[in-house]
Amino acid sequence: MSAAALIATSAVVLAGCSASDTGGEAADLTTVSIMAPYLVTNAPSGDNEIHTALEEIAGVTLDITWVPNSSYLDKTNITLAGDDIPHVMVVQGKDPGFVRNAQAGAFWELSEYLPDYPNLATTLPEVQKAASINGEVYGVFRARDGMRAAVILRKDWLQNLGLEVPKTTDDLYEVAKAFTQNDPDGNGADDTYGLIIPKWPGAIGSNSPYDVIETWHGAGNRWTERDGELVPSFTTDEWLEAVDYEKRLVDEGLVNPDYATFDSANWNEPFLNGKGGIIIDVHSRAGVLMSLLKESDPDSFQNYVEITGNLEGPDGVLHAHPTTGYSGFLAIPKTNVRTEAELRAVLEVLNNMNSTEAGALLNNGIEGTTYTLDGDLAVAVDSAPQALKDAVLSYSQLGTNVTGFQGYLPKQPTEYEQEMYDKRKAIEESDLESAEYDPAAAFVSKTYVSKGAQLDTIIADARIQYIAGQIDRDGLTDAIALWRSSGGDAVIAEINELASQNN
């Protein structure tokens, strides 16, 4: 580490002498290979307009291997075990496999290098820290909105019952109760419920409606600080209080009864069909709901969706539930980027790829072809070829935006949607001030890497079992004790040790 730091420091000094604005000697690299996931049906073809334009900005030939998102994790590990390793790899998160590889020395540690590159020197240092492994930066993170949590409600139901948009968790309970019991659709039948909660694919701390409600109650966000020590949220009294609140919603029938098995892919349906009236998820789902409603009911679609942000807890304080602020990173494996000069060459390319010019290309596509500008907003061109529209979505996977969002925000198709979009942005901005961040986000404990998924499942299952009435309060406490004895205590000790080393 000290040797690396020394080299890095001398590189910075050299940079000062050589008058190069990106610092250090960069090797001559004509082709940069990149591995990235694509989330649409087809991978972009190799010679599309976006690719050509991006190569021009990057200054090198780009050899991109597109891998379907569903098999991306497998492909990452297979690639790392083989010989043909790209210069740059999109890594989708700090999953245990990545951590093991990184700690075995598979990737360049970048914290000493990034400040030399104006477009890679992040303006969001806390996000870069959260994306690091115990402070070691193994990639250029891909920035995401810091605040997305939202409550989406049936606007017509609120109006029919003369209810206000909820501001606190108590309000939410009252609205859910009224939506269930007071016939909000006025059809004279008892056929509605309040909250729609799906079966959640992840365990605890995976932004499920449960997690969000618990953060609102002041239980923290995955981890929280109590008496100077970092502890998991579910060891707090506020967490138990929040789970009791969730149980009350379920017990009183204010939630869809199949919450333990309801497929999250169908989450929108009860809302659209007028069965359930509240979704706790992210703001973008409101946009999806509005466009679905617009398709089926273009004349009055503006009457159904209401949004609000995070809710105040019973303590009267707003504990907003933020995102991690990033979605994986661009990591540089050491196998094919062997020298520091080569690393600098690759970083220069990444620096070019996060310029304002590249940002518009990666996020919006090609002006005049996929979008036109209306002031600062991008208006999507509907007649653009589908392959090119899909390509924009794929190439956006390469965007990092570590110095703030580099593209143009989309202009909404109707005035009402624009109004809702602006409202969303305003809510996100004000909620961000009350964000409850995960104080342990940067820390990766050894025990958690080997047992984390199992440990998390213990708690997530016990939570649902308690809510369903399969176990009582003692059973829930037993599960937490089991979590502790199965390795949880070691995780707590390791996280706190890492925290004290890193402060």
Which spans of this chain sit near another protein (rule: CB under 8 A)?
Answer: 73-74, 77-78, 80-81, 95-98, 100-101, 104-106, 199, 257-258, 260-261, 263, 333, 335, 450-454, 457, 460-461, 463-465, 468, 470, 482, 486
Give me the least distance between CB of 270 and another protein, in Å please.
12
What percentage of the chain's residues is helix, strand, coil (to nearest 5)? 45, 15, 35
Q: Exposed, middle or buried, 266 (CB in 10 Å: 0-12/13-18/19+)?
A: exposed
C-alpha triplet 81, 327, 322: angle, nearest 5°: 145
Q: Exposed, middle or buried, 191 (CB in 10 Å: 0-12/13-18/19+)?
A: exposed
Give me the least distance between CB of 468 and another protein, in Å please.
6
Give me the least distance between CB of 100 and another protein, in Å please.
5
DSSP string, 348-394: HHHHHTTSHHHHHHHHH--BTTTEEEETTEEEE-TTS-HHHHHHHHH
| Sign of the dihedral defined by the CA atoms of residues 72, 75, 81, 84, in that order | negative
Give me the least distance between CB of 247 and another protein, in Å please.
14
- Best CA proximity match to 310, nearest among 219, 220, 163, 212: 212
| Sign of the dihedral defined by the CA atoms of residues 269, 270, 271, 274, in that order | positive
Q: Hey, what are 356's tokens?
A: 């304002």
Choose between 3 and 81: whose C-beta lies nearer to another protein: 81
Task: Give the residue carrying structure tokens 């110095």.
Answer: 403
Give me the least distance between CB of 451 and another protein, in Å please.
8
Residue count of the chain? 503
Pairing of strands 326-331, 31-38: unpaired
Choose between 181 and 465: whose C-beta lies nearer to another protein: 465
Q: Where are the beta strands (DSSP E) in 21-71?
A: 31-38, 61-68
Choose between 412 and 447: whose C-beta lies nearer to another protein: 447
Choose between 335 and 355: whose C-beta lies nearer to another protein: 335
Q: Whole-angstrom Cα distance, residue 329 to residue 94? A: 9
Choose between 349 and 459: whose C-beta lies nearer to another protein: 459
Choose between 96 and 410: whose C-beta lies nearer to another protein: 96
Choose between 398 and 460: whose C-beta lies nearer to another protein: 460
Give me the least distance between CB of 266 and another protein, in Å please.
11
Q: Is 191:257 a contact under the CB 8 Å cutoff? A: no
Choose between 210 and 371: whose C-beta lies nearer to another protein: 210
Q: What residues have CB less than 8 Å from 94, skipping those under 6 apart?
A: 131, 133, 444
Choose between 126 and 251: whose C-beta lies nearer to another protein: 251
Choose between 81 and 189: whose C-beta lies nearer to another protein: 81
Give me the least distance between CB of 194 and another protein, in Å please.
16
Give me the least distance between CB of 253 and another protein, in Å please.
11
Q: Whole-angstrom Cα distance, residue 356 to residue 315? A: 43
Q: What residues have CB less than 8 Å from 82, skipping those under 6 apart?
A: none
Give me the least distance between CB of 430 and another protein, in Å please.
34
Q: What residues have CB less than 8 Å from 193, skipping those under 6 apart?
A: 176, 179, 180, 253, 254, 255, 256, 275, 276, 277
Give me the least distance between CB of 281 and another protein, in Å please.
19
